[in-house]
Amino acid sequence: MLSEEVAFLKGVKEQFQRLQNELRGIKSFLKDADAKQHESAVIRTWVEDVKDVTYDIEDIIDTFILKVAPNKEETGIYNGLMRYATAPKKARNLHKMGNKIQLIFARIEEISNRRERYNITSLVGNGGGTSSSTTNNQNRLRRTYAHDTDDDIVGLKEETSTLLAELLKVDDILRVHSIVGMGGLGKTTLAKQIYNHKDVKHNFDCLAWTFISQQFHMEDVLQEILRKISSLTSGDMKDMKAEELVEKLFFILQSKRYLVILDDIWSKEVWDILKPAFPNGKKGCKVILTTRSAEIAMYADPWSRHIESRSLTKEESWKLLCKKALPKNGLGTSSPLLRNLEKCGREMVNKCCGLPLAVVALGGVLATKKSLNEWETVSKDINVHISKSKGHAGVLAILALSYSDLPYHLKPLFLYLGLFPEDFHISIKKVILMWIAENLVVREQDVGGMEENGKYYFNELLQRCVIEISSRSLNGKPKTFQLHDMMRDLCISKAREENFFEIIQRNSSLTDSSTSLFQVPNSRKIRKCAIYLGNDSRYALPEQAHLSLRTVFFFKSRGFSLDARLNLDHPSFKLVRVLEIEIPRLLAHPIGDELGRVLAKLVKLRYLSLKNTSLMDISKSMDKLFNLEVLDLRGTYLNKSPSTNFANMRQLRHLYLGGFWHNSAYLRIGTTSKLQTLCSVSYGPWVQRDLIHLTHLRKLGIHDIPTDYGMGVMRDIMNYCHRSKNLQSLSLQLRSSSNERKFFRKVQSCPDLEPLSHNHQLLKLMLSGKIKKSHSYWPPNLVKLNLKFSEFEEDPMPILGNLQHLVYLQLYDPFCYALQDDPFGYTLKEIVCSANAFPLLKYLHLIDATKLEEWRVEEGTMPSLTKLLIGNCPGLKMIPTGLRFVTTLQRLEIINMPRKYEERTKEGGEDWCSVQHIPSIKVEHDEMQWYWYNR
C-alpha cells in the first residue's frame, strides 16, 4: 500500500501538467464555440458544462500551487527546516489534489461521451444547429427601409443640420460620412431624415438605401442598390456574379452624383468589399454609413465629418414618449388625464436614460393603456415591459447584438464592467489593472506591454460604442467612462447567463432589478461578485462561493450604515485575486483586525484597494502578499505607522500610500524594477536607500519632507529626476510649507530646479515650497503645473508664460508678503500676463494671493483659456480689464472675495465690460466651502 501511495503521489505532478495542457485545449474550443454562437439548446447546455469544468480546473490549479507547489520565498536554514516539518501536510494535500484531478478527468470523459451520444459533433461541424428561420426573423425585425419614416422625431435638429451641410458641399472626390453610436441611439432615424430631405433629393442624381446585416451577403446588397438607381430587375441580375454586379454598379454611378446609405455596417471588411463599387463620379458624390464602431467610420474616411449620436435629455425623452404613447388615446396637451399621467410618465421615461429606442419601446407599451392605474402598473415593472416590447424585438435584444459582435477576448472585459454600480465613473487605468490581475489581458514579461495591451482592448470597446467617456485628462485622453444604464442591464443579463459574476444586494428595501439580491442556483459556483452593503449589519456570501471566488467588490448602497461589518474572514477568499472596498468613512473597529487576519491568507491577491477607509495596523499582514501588483491606500487612515517591507513584493507595479501622515522610518520600498507608480509616500530613509534603483518610475509623489535637511534630500530627488527616462509626473511637498511660515516665519526653499529642465518626459509637476528668486528653469513639456507656498519675490508670469505646452496652472498662496514686525518682508502687488504668453493654457487658478492688488492681462495672452478661478485675493482692486480679449473663456469663478465683486460683475457693474462675453460667472462667499476646497 505504501508503495502504491508513493507511486500515486509521484504521478500527481505529471497529471497536474496534463491538466494544464487540457485547460489550454478547452479554452481554444470555447473560443471556436463562441464564434459559432449556437442556438441549439442541446449544444448550449453542453458548452455550459464545458465552461463549468474549465472553472473547476482553474480552481484545482490555483489550489495546487497554493498548497503543494514549493514556495519561492522559502529560503535559508530556518525555512529549509520548515519545509521538512510541513512535508507530511503537503503529502496529504498532494493526495487530495490527486483525487480531485482524477475526478476532473472523469468529468471530461463523461462530457466527451455525451458529445457523441447526442450527435453534438455533427451539429458543431455544420454550424451548431443554428435556426436559420430564427436568424432570418431577427434580421427582418431589424431591417430598415428608407420609406419607413418616423414623424415623431425629437432631438435631431442640430445633427440633421450639420450632416445636411456636409452633404450639400461639392467635393472633388467621394466622401464617406458616418453616423456613429451604440444600439438604439437613433442612427438609422437620423439617416432617414437625411435620405428623405427635399434638399438632398434635389442635390443628387440618384439615391439608394440598403441594410447591411451581420450575416452580410454581398450579392443581395449590390442588387438592392442597382434596383434603386437603375431599371434592372431581380430577374436581370439573377445570374450575375458578385464581380459582375460590382462592375455594373461602378459603370452606372460613374456618370452620376449619387448618395448611397449603408445602414448598420458591422466590420471594416464589409466596407473593403463594397468600396470598389463606388466611383468618384460627378463632383459631390457621398456615401453615409451608420455603425456602432467609430473605428469603422475612421477607417472608411478619416477626413470626413462623422456624427456621434447622443442620448436624449429628460425633456426630449418626455416629449418623445408623449408622441408615441398619447396620440392614440386622443389626449390633448391640456387634457386633465394627461396632467395626471405626467408625473408617472416622467418617472418611467427617466429610467430609459435618454435612449430613444427604450423610450419608443416604452411608448409602444403605454399606447394601449388608457388610465393612470394602468400606467402605474407598467411603472412597477418597467424593465420587464421594455424587454418584452415588440419594437425591434425589445431593447435588450437590440443591444445584445453589440455584445454578440464582440470578439471573444473582449466579451469578458465588457461583462466585467457590470460589477460597478449604476452611473459609476470608472477609471480607465483602474479597470485595466483589474483586467490584468484577472488574467483577462495577455500577460507578458514586459509589464508596460501588458498595460499597453489593456489600453488597446479598452479602445476596441470604445470604438464599438458600448461604453461612454465621462471625463478626459488635460491632454484630451479619456480618463473615466460610464456604462449606459441599458448597457449595464445587458452586462448583468449576459453575466447571469454565462455564470460570469453575481451582484449581491444586502438592502431589502431596494427593488431595482439590476441590483437586487440574486437567487443563485445551487449548481453554480460564484467566481466574481459585487456586494452592495445597505442597512444590514453584516453580509453573507452564498455557499457556492467556496474556493471559487476570484473577485470581490464592496460598495455602499442607499441606507448604508456606518456600523456595517464586512465579515471578511470567509474561506471563499483564499484564492481571491482582486479585492476592492469602496466604502468611504468605514469605521476602524469593525474592519481593522478582521482584515488583517484575512490579508495574511490572500497569497494569490494581485489587486488590493482600500481607498478612504479607516483601518487598524495591517502592515504585518501585507508582508506575505508576494503576488501583489497594485496596492491603493489613498485617503486611508492607519492608527500606526506603516512598516511593511514592500521589497518582498517583487511583482508590485503601482503603490499608492496616501493618508500615511506619519514618520516612515521603517518603510522599505525595495529595488523592484517593475514599480511604475509611487505616490503620496512620506519621506524616510528609503529615499536615499531605494529611490536610485527605481528606474521605471513614471509617477512619483513624496510628502512630509523635513526642513532641517530637506535641501540635501531635494537635491538627491532632483538629480534622480534628471537621470530618469520614464518619469512623467512628480509631486514634492516640504513639511514646513504650510505651517512654519505662519508660526516661525521661515519657509524652506526648494533647491535649484535646473536639473528638471533637462527632463523632457515630465508632464505634471506639483511643488510645495519656496521657489528661489533667480529660478527660471522649468521642464519644457509641462502640461500641468501646481505651485503651493512658492513665495515668489518677482512676478513669475513672464517665465511661466513661456511654457508652450502648459494647459493647467494653479498658483496657491504664491507670492511673498511682509510678515508682522519683519523689516525685510516683501510684498508682490502686481503681476502681468503679457501678449503671446500661455499659448495653450486652458485652466488657471489663482488662490490665496492675499496682498495682490493689480493683475494686468494684455491683448493676445492666454488665447485658449476656458476656465479662470480667483479665490481669496481680497486686495485685488478689480477684475483684469484684459479679460475682454480672452474670447475663449467659458467659466469665471470668484470665490471668497469681497462682496463688492458680486455687484461689479453684474450687468451695469464696473467690471461688466470685461466679463460680459463669459457664458458662466459664479460668485460665492462660503468660507466653510472654501476651506474644504483648499483642503
Residue partners of 460: CB distance under 8 A and separation at least 6: 295, 407, 410
What end-to-end distance do the CA atoms of the chain give, in Å? 72
Residue 717 has pLDDT above 90, yes or no: no
Worst-scoring range by mean pLDDT, 467-471, 618-622, 657-661, 834-838?
657-661
Determine the pLDDT at residue 866: 93
Residue, of 448 and 429, whose pLDDT is higher: 429
Q: At what angle do helices 218-229 and 242-253 cross, to 10 degrees?
A: 30
Determine the pLDDT at residue 87: 61
Render pLDDT for 70-99 as a digit per residue (tens, 0 to 9).
Answer: 555 444 444 554 455 556 666 777 777 777
Closest CA to 652 of 682, 677, 679: 677
Contact status, residue 283 vs residue 170, Cβ threshold 8 Å: yes
C-alpha 499/C-alpha 549 separation (Å) is 12
**Phi, psi of 149, rounded to the nearest 5 degrees:** -85, 160
Residues recorded for the chain = 935
Per the structure block, which three cell numbers stand in for 634? 489613498
Residue 399 has pLDDT above 80, yes or no: no
Residue 129 has pLDDT above 50, yes or no: no
**Phi, psi of 700, rounded to the nearest 5 degrees:** -135, 130
Residue range 295-320: average pLDDT? Answer: 86
C-alpha 262/C-alpha 338 separation (Å) is 40
Residue partners of 362: CB distance under 8 A and separation at least 6: 321, 324, 325, 348, 349, 352, 378, 382, 385, 386, 389
- The percent of residues above 70 in pLDDT, for the chain, comes to 71
Three-state DSSP class for 700?
A: strand
Residue, of 546 and 274, whose pLDDT is higher: 274
- Long-range CB contact pairs, 793-801, < 8 A, 24+: 793/826, 793/828, 794/828, 795/828, 795/830, 795/831, 795/832, 796/771, 796/831, 797/831, 797/832, 797/833, 797/834, 797/837, 798/832, 798/834, 798/837, 800/838, 801/833, 801/834, 801/836, 801/837, 801/838, 801/861
Question: What global pTM score does this model have?
Answer: 0.77
DSSP 8-state assignment for residue 572: G
Report the chain's mean pLDDT, rounded to a whole number: 77
Residue, of 716 and 227, whose pLDDT is higher: 227
C-alpha 72/C-alpha 59 separation (Å) is 21
**Top-ranked range on mean pLDDT: pick from 343-352, 428-437, 613-622, 669-678:** 428-437
Determine the pLDDT at residue 511: 34
Determine the pLDDT at residue 870: 92
User: What is the architecture of the domain spanning 156-308?
Assistant: 3-Layer(aba) Sandwich (3.40)
Report in angstroms the alpha-carbon separations of 823 from 9, 740, 744, 820: 86, 18, 15, 8
Residue 820 has pLDDT above 70, yes or no: no
Determine the pLDDT at residue 740: 45
Residue range 203-223: average pLDDT? Answer: 83
Residue 629 has pLDDT above 60, yes or no: yes
**Top-ranked range on mean pLDDT: pick from 54-58, 285-289, 384-388, 539-543:** 285-289
Report in angstroms the alpha-carbon separations of 354 from 186, 199, 512, 586: 11, 30, 18, 35
Q: What is the largest CA-CA distance in the chain?
A: 102
- Going from N- to C-terminal start, the domains of the chain cover 1-118, 156-308, 312-327+341-405, 792-934
Q: How confident is the model at residue 664 (pLDDT cuts 50, 70, 90)?
A: low
Contact status, residue 911 vs residue 905, Cβ threshold 8 Å: yes
Q: How confident is the model at residue 861 (pLDDT cuts 50, 70, 90)?
A: very high
Residue partners of 586: CB distance under 8 A and separation at least 6: 562, 564, 612, 613, 614
Residue 39 has pLDDT above 90, yes or no: no
Determine the pLDDT at residue 928: 47
Render pLDDT for 763-796 as a digit per residue (tens, 0 to 9).
Answer: 999 988 887 665 667 888 999 999 988 888 888 8
Residue range 35-54: average pLDDT? Answer: 71
